Structure 1
Amino acid sequence: MEWRCAGLKEVGVVDWSAELSAGAALLAQSSTADRVAEVLRTRIVEGLLAPGTRLSEEAIGAALMVSRNTLREAFRLLCKEHLAVHQMNRGVFVRVLSVDDVVDLYRLRRLIECAGVRAIGQCPPGTLDAVRVAVDDAERAVTSARWRDVGTADLHFHQALAGLVGSARVDELMRGVLAELRLVFHVMPRPQQFHQPYLVRNREILQLLEAGDGTAAEAALTSYLDDAERELISAYRERGIGSQAVDDEREHG
């Protein structure tokens, strides 16, 4: 089955390898596979690397100025995180998630994010700053129709909700969940139509949290997540992507 992201620019090797060059500044001379994986993970969260994109060793190695062995270890880490998949005799590809993945991700999101909003009464001053920044960033991106940036800001909003739990382990877990979720977003043919209604709801949840009403915020968030899950599953079924993970996608570009 061939993956096509309707309404989105397909990402070729030249496009994203040029963008990756900026990530080289994040790597010290003694760069590790963990750091390389973080650069690639960030590009996935930003929506730059779409599902089915082949991760070229040559292009990425040149862009980040790292050895092939370091790069292969980074790929192994991404595969372990369910963000990439290795195909025998073909290479490593950004993973295409399934309907089962969507259901599982939303099950986990309800546990983590709802725990965050419930904790609002015990949060110290300034805890909501990251939530406010994410809401403001998304609304600014809308004014210039930067829908990829809107999607990124939305993920930051949900990361900030998880951050209300006050646990470094939860924060790390949520980063992985949201990286996978960004791959799910690519299934939506019209990003504006998908994201825009939820931005209003992000603002409403923020206002409830500012008022200290964790109960109402949790109810609003639960409804929000239920609606988003239904939309995404419907889009998957319309595209003919079933319950099993699709690991034999064709190369992009």
Structure 2
Amino acid sequence: MTKTTEKTGETLSLADQVACEVREDIIGGRLLPGMALVEAELTGRYNASRNTVREALHQLGHEGLATYVRNKGVMVRRLGVPEVRDLFLVRRTLEVQAILGSKPLREYESDRMLDAIEAAELAREREDWQAFGTHSLRFHQHIIGLLRSPLLDAFFTNIAAQMRLVFAVAPDEENFQRPWLERDRQIHDLLADGRRHDAAEAMTRYLDDSEHALLDLFNHPPRS
């Protein structure tokens, strides 16, 4: 059995499909840094053979989402300061360019962004900060969607998954996640008004502030 991607029509192998599902579980906050990725458990979770799961884990290792730890096996990767800096370098390059190079916002593009914002608002009302972070990442995936490149969409899905692993360093998800919602909405509204340069400046400030907040958490971890 194979799966076809919605955007490209490309047929995914079983290993690709399992890797995609693991990636989505990371973005959704269901798999956290340091969690063991046990083949026997994953075969049941993803309804796949051990060989397929092994191949998927190998792929995720190349993507920087999984790592082999001696005497422990394959685990969800823990990221550090160098990875945070690199992730934000990539995000500035792609997200700001996506905004500056975008055409007038189409209705479906606006709707996707607003759906992510509204889902984040509902998560905030439920005080479900894990879901809140996921919906914020979805918003930024839709920003990359402005480039209308399936290759970049796929690449940024991996970036989003790595960002979710970085979020795990925050001891208090509410305090970390809460400030970003209104800034997401501001960026959408500027784009909807055709103010691309203002939106790009808002995105640059957003990413700068987000990076500084995360680096501060890595460099000054809270005492237990």
TM-score, scaled to structure 2:
0.90
Partner of 2:175: 193
Report the alpha carbon displacement of residue 90 of structure 1 after superposing the two structures with TM. Answer: 2.2
CA–CA distance in structure 2, aligned partners of residues 225 and 206 of structure 1: 15
* 2:83 maps to 1:67: no
Shift, 1:87, TM fit: 2.0
Name the structure, 1 or 2, with higher relative contact order (CA <8 Å, separation 6+): 1
CA distance in 2, matches of 1:227, 1:124: 28
Query: Which ranges of 4 or more aligned residues in structure 1 deviate by more than 6 Å?
Result: none
Partner of 2:145: 163
Structure 1 Cα separation of the partners of residues 186 and 34 of structure 2: 35
Identity of aligned residues (%): 37
Please name the residue that 2:92 is paired with: 110
Distance in structure 1 (CA, Å) of the matches to 2:102 and 2:207: 19
Matched, 1:130 2:97: no
What amino acid is aligned across from residue 185 of structure 1 in structure 2?
A: F
- Residue deviations 1:179-232, cap 9 Å, x none? 101000000111111111110111111111111100000001100000000000
Q: CA deviation at 1:131?
A: 1.1
Cα distance in 1 for partners of 2:219, 2:58 equals: 30
Shift of 1:120: 3.3
Q: Which residue is 1:83 aligned to?
A: 65
Q: CA deviation at 1:162?
A: 0.7
Name the stretch that deviates more: 116-125 or 172-181: 116-125
| Aligned position for 2:15 | 33
Post-superposition Cα deviations, 1:144-180, rounded to whole Å, max 9, x if no partner, equal 1111110100000000011111111111111111110
- Whichever residue aligns with residue 98 of structure 1, its letter is G
Could you say what the CA RMSD is over the residues aligned between the two structures, in angstroms?
Answer: 1.8
The question of whether the paired residues in 2 share the 8 Å contact of 1:31 and 1:66 is answered with no
Are 2:127 and 1:142 equivalent residues in the alignment? no
Kindly provide the amino acid, as one letter, of the partner of residue 158 in structure 2.
Answer: G
1:206 alignment counterpart: 188
- Structure 2's unaligned 5+ residue stretches are 4-11
Question: 1:54 corresponds to which residue?
Answer: 36
Across the two proteins, how many residue pairs are aligned to each other? 213
Confirm or deny: 8 A CA contact 2:69 2:75 kept in the other structure.
yes
Q: TM-score, normalised by structure 1?
A: 0.80
